[in-house]
């Protein structure tokens, strides 16, 4: 199967195999050394000198950690949404009692930093801004993130970024861009099985955590930081996924992080050009298309569900459909993490072949 | 290395290897079929007709789920503690705002069901009882759990049980024993890498969940149940650990669940007899010793840390030390999950050999 969804991505054989290594004591010296090796390198990819904490949870758990550690009930926050994952951030913030104001941008477009600045200027009570860097549901990258960072820091608010599906595939300069809290997840650009979330926390964010009254235990980042000092995690970690992560970072560093960014940019272009060449329309506006996932409009007369099914059953390729309101309206082609030129070329062939068949199904 | 800690347990080679299978779409038909296969069998081992939900988290996350879904801020609950993991339950309940009353029993002993009944009789406001089935920190099993179940059901309160380190190794008859919520974790008797927690929920517990006002999102069991209906999990699951679990259940069913219980009982006896034969004293009182982990007192004149280090470095065997106040005072020998007669015999030899060396270090 050519797994072309926006995560989990395929896992290179060496990485998958590394996860099968002999189990170790999670409170012993081997784990401590591995945790440090992983942390140092993930921190470097995050481009941060802040703390980098690894949680045994999926990306959504990382998002929850980014809310419950820094936002107290009643805190006014601005949640910038450009799709489903922004909505998820909004839901989490509301559930935990934040006075969450939504600043929504149309699906397929990116956030406008100037409008964020306006919102902050109008309301000095807003304490934090939550934003998605790469919106998997629409195939859009918030390309103005560094500008958003400037704006939010300029107004002295906290900036919390879901970079789950971008970080390590698309450059994120955490410190330089003034991002106070950043989240990523193992099953995306890191080309590892799902189960680990990474959260970076800078000094400004720790100060907010100290003031934060939201109850937290499993996702308490303060506890994670404290345990990290002795090379441990507070709770039993997903050791086999740490093994995979350790190996995946070896491969990533061998390829070179900048080369990985270049590969993702090239594959993004290949998929967009390939899709257009088949006569398909992209969902994302020009200039904000993601280099990790491409959302393609389902053409008139084609049922999205049929297209996906035929791609899977007859072309051995798994694409993702649309979520929520976009269900049946788009097909999403993932090209992040472990993705070769062949994966992309085969994916494009499968896209074209299955589309023809899906049209046939409903044609004549 | 002979990993003889009370979890993570060694993972059989076939199970470890299963985790390296090709990554799949967590929203596709293969995952749905696997989730159902796993759920049906885990449910059977839990001996419940209630719902069985699998979360991507460690056991502690399962404990948190068992609190935030069923206990509201201000609810009076009784937390029965016989060691560190009971204390952890107490901490979680308090953090999430419960009016948590502790009923503590001395370390090394089990809980007395009659005293739980007394406590409930005296205070009709207590809504739920939280208890550890198998206390890993002291090597004690709450052997009266079925009696506790009778007592708590008799008083019409909710019973929430941490069976993380017992379930699948020591019989737990969830429905028959009137256990409303039960938690287990993949890295214990299931002989799988850490990263999955299992939580069973019966109708009485779902009714409590409906009334529960504690905010929850990642650990929201209602969302998990809803997703389960379509063979999914609400958030991206730890797919590689599900692969392992699927294979481990094959092995467990091939061995036979009753045979697994008998093996654990036999290994418990072997370790206790072996430790006594070396002249060591057990920490647990007679009759309540756990069949998954044995806590052994560090003899006078021996430093617990030295003993553990020598066992690891010179005898290739990893034991666990004591936690909290028992640090340096006990050594814990795990014999749960993937554990053969040889593992136990080699473990006993290492225990004896390292003790002699540790004595030598401080003798003469």
Q: Identify whether B5 is part of a domain.
A: no
Q: What is the 3-state secondary structure (H, E, C) of A86-141?
A: HHHHHHHHHHCCCEEEEEECCCCCCCCHHHHHHHHHHCCCEEEEEEECEECCCCEE
Q: What DSSP character marks residue B336?
A: -
Q: For residue B24, what is the domain's CATH number?
A: 3.40.640.10
Among the partner residues A17, A96, A237, nearest to B215 by beta-carbon distance: A96
Q: Identify whether B2 is part of a domain.
A: no
| Number of Cα atoms under 13 Å in the Cβ half of residue B89 | 33
Q: Identify whether B149 is part of a domain.
A: yes
Last residue of a domain, one of B221, B253, B285: B253
Q: How far is Cα B191 from Cα B18, in angstroms, rounded to an integer?
A: 13
**Chain centre distance of CA A170:** 10
Q: Does residue A287 share a domain with residue A235? A: no
Q: Tally the domains of chain A.
A: 2
Cβ of A61 within 8 Å of Cβ of B28? The answer is no
| Number of Cα atoms under 13 Å in the Cβ half of residue A284 | 31
Q: Does residue A332 share a domain with residue A237? A: no
Q: How many CB pairs under 8 A join A and B?
A: 184
At residue B360, the pLDDT reads 82
Q: What DSSP character marks residue B324?
A: G
- Taking contacts as CB-CB distances below 8 angstroms, the residues of chain A near B9 are 23
Q: Which of A77, A136, A72, A79 is nearest to A105 (CA)?
A: A79
Evaluate if pTM is beyond 0.90: yes
Q: Does residue A195 share a domain with residue A279? A: no
Question: Is the predicted pLDDT of residue A363 greater than 60, yes or no?
Answer: no
Cβ of B16 within 8 Å of Cβ of A19? The answer is yes
Q: How far is Cα A134 from Cα A290, in angstroms, rounded to an integer?
A: 7
Q: Does residue A79 share a domain with residue A51? A: yes
pLDDT tens per residue across span B106-138: 999 999 999 999 999 999 999 999 999 999 999
Q: Identify whether B3 is part of a domain.
A: no
Q: Does residue B92 share a domain with residue B171? A: yes
Closest CA–CA distance from residue A151 to any residue of chain B (Å): 30
Q: Identify whether A8 is part of a domain.
A: no
Report the residue of A4, A5, A25 to disrupt the B interface, i.e. the one with the largest count of B CBs within 10 Å: A25
Copy the structure tokens of residue B288. 């309540």
Q: Does residue B242 share a domain with residue B268? A: no
Mind giving me the DSSP string for B24-57? --TTSHHHHHHHHHHHHHHHHHHT-SSEEEEEES
- Sequence-distant (6+) residues with CB within 8 A of B151 are B113, B114, B116, B117, B120
For residues A336-340, average pLDDT: 97
Q: Please report where in the chains the tokens 């008139």 appear, as a residue.
A: A300
For residues A202-214, average pLDDT: 98
Asked if B84 and B323 touch (Cβ cutoff 8 Å), the reply is yes
Q: How far is Cα A38 from Cα A34, in angstroms, rounded to an integer?
A: 6
Q: How far is Cα B181 from Cα B159, in angstroms, rounded to an integer?
A: 7
pLDDT confidence band for A228 (50 / 70 / 90): very high
pLDDT confidence band for A360 (50 / 70 / 90): confident
Q: How far is Cα B62 from Cα B218, in angstroms, rounded to an integer?
A: 11
Domain with A115, as residue range(s), is 13-253
- Taking contacts as CB-CB distances below 8 angstroms, the residues of chain B near A69 are none
Asked if A253 and A45 touch (Cβ cutoff 8 Å), the reply is no
Copy the structure tokens of residue B360. 């030598």
Q: Does residue B100 share a domain with residue B200? A: yes
Q: E strands along B195-340, which residues?
A: 196-201, 293-297, 317-318, 320-321, 330-334
Q: Identify whether B92 is part of a domain.
A: yes
Cβ of B25 within 8 Å of Cβ of A16? The answer is no
Cross-strand bridge partners of residue A293: A334
pLDDT tens per residue across span A133-152: 999 999 999 999 999 999 99
Cβ of B23 within 8 Å of Cβ of A10? The answer is yes
Element spanning B240, H or E:
helix B239-255
Closest CA–CA distance from residue B329 to any residue of chain A (Å): 18
Question: Which residue does chain B place closest to A193, by CA atoms?
Answer: B240
Closest CA–CA distance from residue A141 to any residue of chain B (Å): 21
The CA-CA-CA angle for residues B264, B266, B267, to 5°, reads 65
Q: Identify whether B54 is part of a domain.
A: yes
Q: How far is Cα A299 from Cα A277, in angstroms, rounded to an integer?
A: 14
Cβ of A17 within 8 Å of Cβ of B19? The answer is no
At residue A361, the pLDDT reads 57
% of chain A beyond a pLDDT of 90: 99
**Chain centre distance of CA A312:** 24
Asked if B109 and B287 touch (Cβ cutoff 8 Å), the reply is no
Q: Does residue B217 share a domain with residue B314? A: no
The ipTM (two decimal places) reads 0.97
The total of other beta-carbon atoms located within 10 Å of residue A91's CB is 15
Q: What DSSP character marks residue B167?
A: B
Last residue of a domain, one of A208, A235, A253: A253
Q: Does residue B156 share a domain with residue B18? A: yes
pLDDT tens per residue across span B54-85: 999 999 999 999 999 999 999 999 999 999 99
Last residue of a domain, one of A253, A277, A310: A253
- Taking contacts as CB-CB distances below 8 angstroms, the residues of chain B near A230 are none
Q: For residue B271, what is the domain's CATH number?
A: 3.90.1150.10
Among the partner residues A10, A19, A236, nearest to B59 by beta-carbon distance: A236
At residue B254, the pLDDT reads 98
Q: Does residue B212 share a domain with residue B277? A: no
Cβ of B22 within 8 Å of Cβ of A1? The answer is yes
Q: How far is Cα B179 from Cα B166, in angstroms, rounded to an integer?
A: 14
Question: Which residue does chain B place closest to A338, by CA atoms?
Answer: B23
Report the residue of B14, B57, B91, B184 to disrupt the A interface, i.e. the one with the largest count of A CBs within 10 Å: B57
At residue A362, the pLDDT reads 47
Q: Identify whether B4 is part of a domain.
A: no
At residue A172, the pLDDT reads 98
Q: Does residue A78 share a domain with residue A181? A: yes
Q: Does residue B246 share a domain with residue B278? A: no
At residue B362, the pLDDT reads 47
% of chain A beyond a pLDDT of 70: 99
State the average pLDDT for chain A: 97
* pLDDT < 70: residue spans in chain B: 361-364
Q: How far is CA A37 from CA A52, A231, A337, B310, in A?
A: 12, 10, 20, 26
pLDDT confidence band for A325 (50 / 70 / 90): very high
């Amino acid at each position: 199967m050519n797994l072309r969804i926006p995560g989990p991505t395929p896992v290179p054989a060496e990485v998958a195999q590394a996860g099968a290594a002999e189990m170790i004591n999670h409170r012993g010296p081997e784990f401590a050394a591995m945790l440090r090796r992983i942390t140092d390198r993930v921190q470097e990819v995050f481009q941060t000198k802040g703390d980098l904490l690894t949680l045994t949870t999926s990306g959504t758990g990382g998002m929850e950690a980014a809310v419950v550690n820094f936002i107290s009930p009643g805190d006014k926050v601005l949640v910038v949404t450009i799709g489903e994952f922004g909505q998820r951030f909004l839901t989490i913030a509301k559930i935990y009692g934040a006075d969450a104001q939504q600043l929504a941008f149309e699906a397929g477009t990116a956030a406008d930093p100037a409008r964020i600045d306006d919102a902050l200027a109008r309301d000095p009570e807003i304490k934090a801004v939550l934003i998605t860097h790469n919106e998997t549901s629409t195939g859009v990258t918030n390309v103005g993130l560094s500008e958003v960072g400037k704006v939010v820091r300029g107004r002295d608010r906290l900036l919390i970024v879901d970079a789950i599906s971008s970080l390590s595939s698309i450059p994120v300069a955490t410190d330089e861009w003034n991002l106070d809290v950043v989240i990523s997840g193992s099953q995306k650009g890191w080309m590892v099985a799902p189960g680990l979330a990474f959260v970076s926390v800078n000094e400004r964010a720790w100060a907010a955590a100290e003031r934060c009254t939201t109850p937290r235990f499993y996702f308490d980042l303060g506890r994670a930081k404290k345990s990290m000092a002795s090379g441990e995690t507070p709770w039993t970690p997903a050791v086999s996924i740490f093994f995979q992560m350790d190996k995946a970072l070896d491969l990533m560093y061998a390829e070179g992080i900048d080369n990985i960014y270049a590969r993702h940019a090239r594959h993004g272009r290949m998929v967009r050009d390939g899709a257009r060449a088949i006569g398909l329309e992209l969902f994302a506006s020009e200039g904000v298309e993601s280099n990790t996932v491409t959302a393609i409009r389902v053409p008139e007369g084609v049922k999205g569900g049929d297209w996906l099914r035929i791609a899977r059953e007859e072309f051995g390729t798994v694409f993702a459909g649309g979520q929520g309101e976009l269900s049946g309206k788009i097909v999403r082609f993932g090209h992040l993490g472990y993705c070769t030129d062949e994966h992309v070329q085969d994916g494009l062939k499968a896209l074209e072949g299955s589309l023809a068949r899906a049209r046939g199904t409903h044609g004549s």
